[in-house]
Amino acid sequence: MTELLRIERLGQRGDGVAQGPGGPIHVPLALPGELVEADLSGERSRLVRVVESAPERVAPYCPEVGACGGCATQQLAQPTALAWKRALLVETFRRAGLDAEARIAPCLDAHGAGRRRVTFHARAGADGRIAVGFAEARSHAIVPVAACPLLAPELAGALPAARALAAALSSRRKPLDIVASATAAGLDVDIRGGGPPPEPLRLRLVELAGRLDLARLSIHGDVVVERRRPVLAIGRAQVTPPPGGFLQATAKGEEELARLVLEGVDGAKRVADLFCGIGPFALRLAERAEVFAADSEAAAVEALSAAARMAPGLKRISAEPRDLFRRPLTSAELARFDAVVFDPPRAGAELQARTLAGAKVARVVAVSCSAATLARDAAILVAGGYRLDLVTPVDQFRHSAHVEAVAVFSRG
């Protein structure tokens, strides 16, 4: 069954939203103001054709748009997409009780050269063939892809490598996630799924890593072979991340986030970097301040510490593994810092925000990939007497609904 619909707005996931008799109707790939014909016969509506197009519509440049679930807004002009992401942040803060629109800056485009980290999914179909690619939108089905135009040039070999590794492990018939990161030494690949390989298969993977010229190959963080030390430059430091460890999606995104963090704590002499990871902020902060860094991932903290020991001209960095979700820094511990930076996972830093709300730290900078938990934590800080000075959205997830943000708070 097809219907003509007038699209009123973009939803939070990037779908066009029309108002139907029974409530909102979400139409993927449709834009506000457009008159579209949509098929409503399935569980989800499907765009059949655009009858009247919006002036912001542009031609998608990837042939997998509409099938692959990675991009929701490739049909939307980038300036409008950035404004939409800012509006999502404004609305999320409003729902948390904070009227912050005047303090939310324009969204920064931090795509840069493209994504430097990618996860390919490998699954066996009913015919036994292995499909390697990305998931369909709201589905576990795999869309095999020939390439992804969002990836940085340094990841050019990632898809062929993923196909070869999936083929080598196909006899185990286990779903795989193959995570490839671009480093100065080449591809760093971690395979997730299937468990530890038996020794004959492990030896085959070592040989395959050589043929694929991988810098490092690991399975669930267990190194199969390291042919070259994978290195990332962070400020003056050279960091070897733990196998499968987290890093920001784009190099440009990390640079912009770090710049905003450094501006937010400018002049501070003693800074705490909480949920520090491998040190994208701590190692840059240490060029001008003493830094205490903490994270629950011990391997990330060790990578940060090792890099700090070798980097020239840094002030003192003390780093420790610590579960900040269960054991946040106390008010007494926070009292020795001029500024605190926290960059938690999507769950946010609620307990740490509550201890900060009762402390007297002059400045706090919150970095988050979740608008909802950032707004919640911001409301806690504001209720504790902090002033929300500035929120800057940063877009390193082009064509998706995801947006990073840096929020700066001050006391008094």
Q: Encode 373-398: b = buried (16+ Cβ within 10 Å), e = exposed.
A: bbbbbbbbbbebebebebbbbbbbbb
User: What's the total number of domains in the chain?
Assistant: 3
Q: Is residue 76 part of a domain?
A: no
Per the CB < 8 A criterion, the answer to whether 85 and 397 are in contact is no
Using the 3D structure, point to which of 182, 201, 232 is the last residue of a domain.
232
Q: Is residue 300 part of a domain?
A: yes
| Kind plus residue range of the DSSP H or E element containing 159 | helix 158-168
The whole-angstrom separation of Cα 281 and Cα 317 is 12
Q: Hey, what are 207's tokens?
A: 């040989």
Q: What is the pLDDT of residue 29?
A: 96
CA angle 67, 69, 73 (to 5 degrees): 95
Q: Is residue 48 located within the same domain as residue 174?
A: no
Q: Is residue 184 located within the same domain as residue 306?
A: no
Q: Which of 341, 306, 337, 302 is nearest to 324 (CA)?
A: 341
Q: Is residue 190 located within the same domain as residue 44?
A: no
Q: Which of 377, 387, 372, 185 is nearest to 275 (CA)?
A: 377
Q: Is residue 145 located within the same domain as residue 223?
A: yes
Q: Is residue 208 located within the same domain as residue 303?
A: no
Q: Is residue 154 located within the same domain as residue 303?
A: no
Strand-pair partners of 270: 290
Q: Is residue 361 part of a domain?
A: yes
Q: What is the pLDDT of residue 105?
A: 98
Catalytic residue, chosen from 62, 68, 276, 369, is 369
The whole-angstrom separation of Cα 11 and Cα 202 is 46
Q: Is residue 312 part of a domain?
A: yes
Q: Is residue 323 part of a domain?
A: yes
Per the CB < 8 A criterion, the answer to whether 306 and 333 are in contact is no
* Cα four-point dihedral sign 26, 30, 36, 40: negative
227: domain CATH number is 2.40.50.1070
The whole-angstrom separation of Cα 136 and Cα 64 is 10
Residue 228: Cβ within 10 Å count: 14
Q: What is the pLDDT of residue 24?
A: 93
Q: What is the pLDDT of residue 337?
A: 98
Q: Is 283 helix (H, G, I), strand (E, B) or coil?
A: helix
Along the 412 residues of the chain, how does pLDDT read in single tens digits? Answer: 899 999 999 999 999 999 988 899 999 999 999 999 999 987 679 999 999 999 999 999 999 998 898 999 999 999 999 999 999 999 999 999 999 999 999 999 999 999 999 999 999 877 778 999 999 887 788 999 999 999 999 999 999 999 999 999 988 788 999 999 999 999 999 999 978 999 999 999 999 999 999 999 999 999 999 999 999 999 999 999 999 999 999 999 999 999 999 999 999 999 999 999 999 999 999 999 999 999 999 999 999 999 999 999 999 999 999 999 999 999 999 999 999 999 999 999 999 999 999 999 999 999 999 999 999 999 999 999 999 999 999 999 999 999 999 999 999 7
Using the 3D structure, point to which of 208, 232, 256 is the last residue of a domain.
232
The whole-angstrom separation of Cα 97 and Cα 74 is 32
DSSP assignment string, 179-205: EEEEETTEEEEEEESS-SPPHHHHHHH
Q: Which of 23, 16, 3 is nearest to 56 (CA)?
A: 16
Q: Is residue 330 part of a domain?
A: yes
Per the CB < 8 A criterion, the answer to whether 364 and 386 are in contact is yes
Q: Is residue 405 located within the same domain as residue 276?
A: yes
Q: Is residue 263 located within the same domain as residue 371?
A: yes
The whole-angstrom separation of Cα 181 and Cα 244 is 8
Using the 3D structure, point to which of 174, 208, 232 is the last residue of a domain.
232
Which ranges of 213-288 would DSSP assign to H, the alpha helix?
251-264, 282-285
Q: What amino acid occupies position 230?
A: P
Q: Is residue 384 located within the same domain as residue 290?
A: yes
293: domain CATH number is 3.40.50.150
28: domain CATH number is 2.40.50.140
Q: Hey, what are 113's tokens?
A: 């050269």
369 is catalytic: yes
Q: Hey, what are 114's tokens?
A: 């493209």
Q: Which range marks the domain in which residue 31 is found?
A: 2-57
Q: Is residue 227 located within the same domain as residue 253?
A: no
Q: Is residue 63 part of a domain?
A: no
Q: Is residue 100 located within the same domain as residue 217?
A: no
Q: Is residue 238 part of a domain?
A: no
Q: Is 88 helix (H, G, I), strand (E, B) or coil?
A: helix
Q: Is residue 134 located within the same domain as residue 262?
A: no
The whole-angstrom separation of Cα 192 and Cα 174 is 10
